[in-house]
């Protein structure tokens, strides 16, 4: 019993932030930092999408550029790291497959997949959601004004179906999205304070997202 308790204490708690990060923005960073703090995570991995199953619906910037922007955005946070597992895979980037491979590489870690409230409501429509839950728990970000009663009702429903797998993540209100940032750049509008300064400079220097 003593050995088991020691192993539990030494098990790392790792958060996983997946997404296109096209581009990464301050909302992503805020959710990741709040997840780290609220759930005592030892590390948060940012995993940019490689070959997205949704790539036919939107044009996604080259992976090397998106990874460089993530690297710049997280450089000053010692708990954040970039993981390019999907970028270097020739396969379509389904979450269940990525989580399985991460768990194989991190056998002694407890994994927490971080997603937004909208994705929580869509979760059961994802490819093989039960396989995702075999290897990790879900931290679902919400904002106090945003469908709160419906959000917690859905958390309760999912936890009844998949016991002790879904946890709420309280995050400050920051209305920003990658789509909105791309739209603003196309329109010649400022993105200052929506993305880290280094990311803003990188976007402008490389003329990303302009028409």
pLDDT at 120 over 60: yes
- Considering the entire predicted model, what is its pTM? 0.91
pLDDT at 2: 43
In angstroms, the Cα distances linking 72 to 80, 128, 181, 202, 207 are 11, 33, 17, 9, 16
In this structure, which topology does domain 2-175 adopt according to CATH? Rossmann fold (3.40.50)
Q: Which two tokens stand for residue 48?
A: 């940019």
pLDDT tens digits, one per residue of 7-44: 444 679 999 999 999 999 999 999 999 999 999 999 99
pLDDT tens digits, one per residue of 126-170: 999 999 999 999 999 997 766 788 999 999 999 999 999 999 999
Domain ranges of the chain: 2-175
Which residues, in sequence order, are bridge partners of residue 92?
Answer: 51
Residues 6+ apart with CB under 8 A from 114: 15, 16, 17, 31, 32, 35, 44, 139, 141, 169
């Amino acid at each position: 019993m003593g050995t088991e308790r020691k192993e539990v204490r030494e098990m790392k708690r790792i958060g996983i932030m997946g997404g296109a990060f096209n581009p990464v923005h301050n909302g992503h960073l805020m959710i990741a930092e709040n997840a780290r703090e609220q759930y005592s995570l030892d590390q948060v991995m940012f995993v940019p999408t490689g070959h997205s199953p949704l790539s036919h619906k939107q044009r996604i910037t080259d992976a090397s550029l998106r990874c460089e922007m993530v690297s710049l955005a997280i450089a000053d946070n010692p708990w954040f790291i970039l993981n390019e597992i999907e970028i270097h895979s020739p396969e379509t980037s389904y979450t269940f497959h990525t989580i399985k491979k991460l768990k194989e590489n991190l056998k002694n870690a407890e994994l927490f997949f971080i997603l937004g409230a909208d994705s929580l409501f869509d979760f059961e429509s994802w490819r093989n959601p039960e396989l995702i839950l075999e290897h990790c728990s879900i931290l679902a970000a919400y904002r106090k004004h945003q469908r709160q009663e419906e959000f917690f009702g859905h958390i309760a429903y999912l936890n009844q179906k998949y016991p002790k797998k879904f946890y709420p993540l309280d995050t400050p209100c920051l209305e920003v999205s990658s789509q909105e940032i791309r739209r603003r750049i196309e329109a010649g509008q400022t993105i200052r304070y929506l993305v880290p300064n280094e990311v803003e400079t990188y976007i402008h220097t490389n003329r990303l997202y302009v028409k």
